Amino acid sequence: MKVLIADDDPLSLLYLQDALQDWGYEVLTATDGIRACEILQQPDAPMLAVIDWMMPGMDGIDVCRQVRETIKDRYVYLIMLTTRSETEFVVEAMNAGADDFVRKPFDAEELQVRIRAGRRISELEQQLRLKATHDALTGVYNRGALLEILDKEWCAMGATRGRCRSSSATSTISSGSTTSTATWPATRCCAKSADASPPCCVPTIRSAVTAARS
């Protein structure tokens, strides 16, 4: 499992990296909050991160807020690491989106069990998300997931083009060994600005997918 460590202290970063690698984790590192956010927003980003509170660029609190506001397709388990031990700082970190709080200097065994707990929660979230978006029998995307993907693609097309330039649109979605293709008319799209989504197209998309699945 991948784990991100974000800490601007090189000695602390090296110690954490060595410890997590000894525990069997694949470790990615960042020395500031901006780089930590960039790593966590990548498609194959770690599902668990240990974030130091005080960092240049963006501190740990800002990283937690940014992750919770921007990453919606998966859950990232965030452990805040800091020398601050007062109750108000713990509350602030949790309100910003942190899942756990470890004080410096930390005990290696305590950190290990907290990371292990975070791993269990991350893996459980992945299992629940898989069950919610995939058909139990075939293993491919279910109808709800297909509609959500098509809605996102269609709105992205409308935002990019500003308006439809063709009379039809086709989307191909692959899941495992199965590929699903849906085609629907695009002449009803009336998006005229880059920040406006085309709600009039959504019923057309849903009708096409429903007809293809029935």
Decide which of 3.40.50.2300, 1.10.10.10, 3.30.70.260, 1.10.357.10 is the CATH code for 2-133. 3.40.50.2300
Residue 139 — very low, low, confident or very high, per pLDDT cuts 50/70/90?
low
- For the ranges 109-113, 165-169, 208-212, the maximum mean pLDDT occurs at 109-113
| Average confidence (pLDDT) over 33-61 | 94
pTM, 2 dp: 0.63
Stretch (H or E) spanning 111: helix 108-133
Q: What is the pLDDT of residues 111-137, one digit of tens each?
A: 999 999 999 998 888 777 666 665 666
Cβ neighbours for 47, distance < 8 A, ≥ 6 positions apart: 1, 2, 74, 75, 76, 77, 122, 125, 126
Residue 192 — very low, low, confident or very high, per pLDDT cuts 50/70/90?
very low
| Average confidence (pLDDT) over 155-159 | 65
Domain regions of the chain by residue span: 2-133, 143-213
| Confidence (pLDDT) at 43 | 86
Residue 164 — very low, low, confident or very high, per pLDDT cuts 50/70/90?
very low
Least confidently predicted of 117-121, 125-129, 148-152, 187-191? 187-191
Instruction: Name the residue with higher pLDDT: 86 or 126.
Output: 86
